[in-house]
Amino acid sequence: MKDDFKRILVGVDDSEDALAAFQYAIHRAKADHAELVIASVLESGEMNVYQALTKDYVHGERVELQEHIERYVRLAQQAGIKSVQAVIGEGDAGETIIKKIIPQVQPDLLVIGAMSKRGIARHFGSQAAYMAKYAAISVLVVRD
């Protein structure tokens, strides 16, 4: 295992485990002088058909998610992380992070919370388990 990471990707939602993962990612990024990339995913699978077809609803969800992730960016900057960026994906959280965000961002560590607050995954298996299994990089799963 590497001693220092250069780019750390942390997946966030509004769960307590995601906040714990975010706090760990800040700690690790500071220790390693690493870039921090904060990612969140608009899970369109959780919308009903009417919501998915309503542009105003989807736009509202995306704006809310953008504001949410910008708060995380400000917190990371206030904590002293010099290089912070945010990425928003759309679709299934695990698949989007593994298949789209990781290839785009090219991190060497993924930090995620153990449990998602939203989504069917909290009932039928963990997004975290999926990402840990299929990520081609080191994955740290944080439990609050």
* Domain assignment present for 2: no
Token digits for 130?
């999926």
Structural domain count of the chain: 1
* Domain assignment present for 1: no
Residues of the chain with pLDDT under 50: 47-53, 56-58, 119-124
* Residue 133: predicted pLDDT: 93
Domain with 32, as residue range(s), is: 7-142
* Residue 121: predicted pLDDT: 44
* Residue 105: predicted pLDDT: 97
Query: CA 51, CA 56: separation in Å to the nearest integer?
Result: 9
Instruction: Please tell me whether the overall predicted TM-score, pTM, comes out greater than 0.75 for this model.
Output: yes
Whole-angstrom CA distances from 109 to 19, 106, 125, 127 are: 17, 9, 22, 16
* Residue 37: predicted pLDDT: 98
**Nearest to residue 108, comparing CAs of 41, 44, 29, 13?**
29
Instruction: Write the CATH number for 71.
Output: 3.40.50.620
